[in-house]
Amino acid sequence: MNPKSGVEIPIEPERYELRAAAPYRFDLDRREFFKFLGAGLVVVSVLKTAVVAQESGGNRQRRGESLPKDIDAWLHIGENGKITVYTGKVEVGQNIRTSLSQAVSEELHVPVERIEMVMGDTQLTPFDMGTFGSRTTPTMNLQLRKVASAARDVLIGLAAKQWNTNPQELIAIDGKVKEHAGERSIEYAALVKGQQLTQALPAEDPLIPAAEWKVAGRPAAKVDGIDFVTGRHLYPSDQKLPGMLYGKVVRPSAFEATLVSVDTQKAEQMGVTVVRDGNFVGVAALNSQLASSAAAAIHAEWKAEPQPSNKDLFDYLRKNVMDGKDVTGDGDRFDTGSVDEAMKSADHRLQQTYTVQYIAHVPLEPRAAVAKWDGDRLTVWTGTQRPFGVRGQLAEAFHIPEENVRVLMPDMGSGYGGKHTGETAIEAARLARAAKRPVKVVWTREEEFTWAYFRPAGVIDVSSGVQKDGTITAWEFHNYNSGSAGIRPYYEIANQRIVFHAVKTPLRQGSYRALASTANHFARESHMDELAHAVKMDPLEFRLKNLKNERLRAVFEAAAKQFGWGKSKSAGRGYGMGGGYEKLGNIATFAEVHLDGKSGEVRVVRVVSAFECGAIVNPDGLRNQIEGSNVQGLGGALFEAIEFSNGKILNGRLSQYRVPRFSDLPVIETVLLDRKDIPSVGAGECPMIGLAPAIANAIFDAMGTRLRALPLVPNGLKSS
Amino acid sequence: MATIRLAINQKSYAVDVDPQTSLLTVLREHLDLTGSKYGCGEGQCGACTVLIDGKAQRSCVTRLGSVGQKQITTIEGLAQGDQLHAVQRAFLDVGALQCGYCTSGMIMSAVALLKKNPSPSEGEIVDFMHGNICRCGTYPRIVSAIQNAAKNGSTTASAKGGSR
């Protein structure tokens, strides 16, 4: 078997994944459901299209018939009062185990501590495409609110029936149903005792308005935080099974290399299992040291084709466009008005090119998996943002039905869009099949740097025309390779031509926190600054002149106020801003940099972000996400870049690839705009996009040098 | 192979491994003390930090043979029963974690810092913690957590040995 020949999961959600249909078919019948969960009450959340299809009594309590298909979450209240929520979403550090618990707690009127979330287990939870694209808060959070709210209504109904009273005279509070006026009260557990009730989610259920939230909308501590500060939490790489072996894969000499010959004789004499299958060569041994020594003892010869390097990167991207072979169909080209005419009649014209390098996710926990076979049934514990996607990859790789594969995803050591695929799962499973024992594979940092995938590099050409009064009249924007997320301007521009050019990529690339939005906002917001200077306008005033979107104006204004935009500055200081709109959130970030005239060192000393994502669910978690975005974003803005040459990564270690550390930390201030009248959306990605242009613009303000390439100052923090 | 005796979290262990094996591998693989994490294997990220005689050390680059009878404290040995160490408590109170993978290393480094310097300035915290990476970017909160722990006193420290 060659793992590379297996199904390749598309790894750029903005362009591919969200178009995939949900293949989930739920085939448990009601009786099996309760056998598995125990008696009580089950409320299932049915996808909207499915609700319509099920109208024949679909909103009633069900007895006897099978459950609806296309469920995306369910909640169970057991006879012991235990509340369990099942969702295919996964926890990767973005803290949704807590924020989803808050949502359920709010609607069901039970303390957060009484709720258990079962997440990302392909056997126990409904199908989910994956945890990416900041989709959990706008979709799953809302679904679970509705599920919990429906459960509450069922419980009130049960009590009303028992007491022969009107449900409107009853309220749910602290895990009980009580009489408004009277004395009677009954625990949820007692209400569901001996019951086998199921309820599909009513389409219209009044939710508690955000303004009346008591649990959600307030800071909540990480629900199982104590396991993390005591080292008890078991991450994917901490999993261990009885009799488990440790696996190690022999890596090709370069990307796309094919195996010419291999000598495994020495390794075989070391008492380990050796597997050679197509291009796959690996070993499984009693301990990880022996596995490493045995893998090192294998002599393999590889053949690789010549491949491009960093120095040719941007030329290469321009020359390898796949125009006309557009796989996405839409969203890649947008035209309005007449750009050429408007450009001709503009008072000022500006044409500039911006570039971004490949960067790595560097999740602190590298990819890891433990695989175990029982006959032709496979169980894998692995760190991934797409447990159901990895299940599909495993089924494909081993030619077994998906029903035979179970993937479990213990809360993992982060992903940032970098763990959509199942490499380690396949490797561990291949070795386990040969060894006939469970096998664990944990990638080294070097493997993670080399054999995962990268945030795409890109070249962006921007041409624009502007009138003397600051009105932008023409905007032409070409993005080569980095992606189309956030490609369209939110500024009011009558004439636009926006094109994304897909490219035959030199490196394996995929999703990343905010993905292309960072590159597109860097180009756009840098260009806006350049235009403001061209017409001698204040950059904030210039943006607001061309911006009608009220929510975006509000964050720019709020951040400017907190930052003190317009205040005087001493020599060597510079101020800049950047902002935009992504995944339904709105961000404006202002940065202050300090340039040391002697050493040439540039330091980001202060960052102020204003963010608005509708009604805030967990303000503390939200602040944490925004601060984290700004810290992580410093790396891509200032110094992160993958160096590669001829199919090899040249800086694939943490001693060679610089990520932000404590000492890079600016003062970070966060302003939250809470719009209780607007549905909540996610915040894991959007807050990142304003930082890079804010820093670039501040550097220009400080030293008059316009930097148009990310990373801006890769050689330490020296000015380049 | 030789039998090597180790003193970890005030317990005595015997392991049969090559003395060249890293302390991290022994903790995780042989003793199931998986609270210490692998992040880089070259002492660059601090996820594997443990205390050896009270000093913060990167267990991924510490050879077992060099440890001898020194007292090792891992994240598992920090709390006294249900009583969390002040630094652990502060990380929870401040919410100084997202994915939490760096957290045990951060906490162990912070404990070592506070043993040496019970009321560090922000600059001293940043300098000492420089070798620990949090990829989720929770640094500002970790600084606050360490300041909180310093304020509340980290006297419940269970780590033995000298100061760094």
Of B92, B100, B107, the CB nearest to A233: B100
The yes-or-no answer to whether B2-77 and B86-152 have a common fold is no
Tell me whether A225 touches chain B (CB under 8 Å).
Answer: yes
Cβ atoms B108, B146 nearer than 8 A: no
Cβ atoms A172, A108 nearer than 8 A: yes
Interchain pair A231, B129: CB under 8 A = no
Helices (H), chain B: 23-25, 86-94, 103-116, 122-129, 139-152
Tokens of B138: 């929770």
Tokens of A208: 């508690």
A235 CB neighbours in chain B (<8 A) are 34, 37, 101
> Where exactly are the structural domains of chain B?
2-77, 86-152
Interchain pair A661, B130: CB under 8 A = yes
Q: Find, in chain A, the residue whose alpha carbon is nearest to that of B137.
A: A628
CATH class of B2-77: alpha beta
Q: B57: part of which helix (H) or strand (E)?
A: strand B55-58
Sign of the dihedral defined by the CA atoms of residues A565, A567, A568, A572, in that order: negative
Residue window 246-285, chain A: list those with CB within 8 Å of chain B: 246
B17 CB neighbours in chain A (<8 A) are 289
Interchain pair A628, B138: CB under 8 A = yes
d(CA A1, CA A249): 14
Cβ atoms B101, A365 nearer than 8 A: yes
Tell me whether A412 touches chain B (CB under 8 Å).
Answer: yes
Q: Find, in chain A, the residue whose alpha carbon is nearest to that of B96.
A: A624
Mutation target among B80, B89, B135 for the A interface, most CBs of A within 10 A: B135
CB proximity list for A606: less than 8 A, separation 6 or greater: A563, A591, A592, A666, A667, A668, A669
- Burial of residue A31 (number of CB atoms within 10 Å: 0-12, 13-18, 19+): exposed
Q: Counting one residue from A and one from B, how many pairs have CB atoms under 8 Å apart?
A: 174
Tokens of A457: 């590099």
Q: How distant is the Cα of B162 from the closest Cα of chain A, in angstroms? A: 23
Stated pTM of the model = 0.91
Q: Half-sphere exposure (CA, 13 Å, Cβ side) for A288?
A: 17
Rg (alpha carbons) of chain A, rounded to whole number: 27
B100 CB neighbours in chain A (<8 A) are 93, 222, 225, 228-229, 233, 413
Tell me whether A379 touches chain B (CB under 8 Å).
Answer: no
Q: Half-sphere exposure (CA, 13 Å, Cβ side) for A538?
A: 9
Parallel/antiparallel/unpaired status of strands A472-480 and A61-62: unpaired
CB proximity list for A632: less than 8 A, separation 6 or greater: A416, A513, A660, A688, B135, B136, B137
B140 CB neighbours in chain A (<8 A) are 627, 631, 665, 668
Catalogue all structural domains in chain A, each as residue range(s) with its CATH number. 17-222 (3.30.365.10), 236-304+367-442 (3.30.365.10), 320-358+454-710 (3.30.365.10)
* Confidence check on the interface: ipTM exceeds 0.90, yes or no: yes
DSSP lists the bridge partners of residue A262 as: A300
DSSP character at residue A94: S
pLDDT digits (tens, 9 = 90+) for B22-69: 999 999 999 999 999 999 999 999 999 999 999 999 999 999 999 999
SS3 at position A661: coil
Tell me whether A181 touches chain B (CB under 8 Å).
Answer: no
Q: At what angle do helices B86-94 and B103-116 cross, to 10 degrees?
A: 130
d(CA A578, CA A583): 17
Q: What is the pLDDT of residue A127?
A: 85
A606 CB neighbours in chain B (<8 A) are none
The architecture in CATH of the region B86-152 reads: Orthogonal Bundle (1.10)
A222 CB neighbours in chain B (<8 A) are 92, 95, 97, 100
Q: What is the pLDDT of residue A33?
A: 72
B39 CB neighbours in chain A (<8 A) are 364-366, 445, 654
Q: How distant is the Cα of B159 from the closest Cα of chain A, in angstroms? A: 14
CB proximity list for A374: less than 8 A, separation 6 or greater: none
d(CA A613, CA A291): 48
Q: How confident is the model at residue B154 (pLDDT cuts 50, 70, 90)?
A: low
Which of the residues in chain A have pLDDT under 50? 1-27, 49-67, 69, 203, 329-330, 716-720
Q: What is the pLDDT of residue A206?
A: 57
A362 CB neighbours in chain B (<8 A) are 135
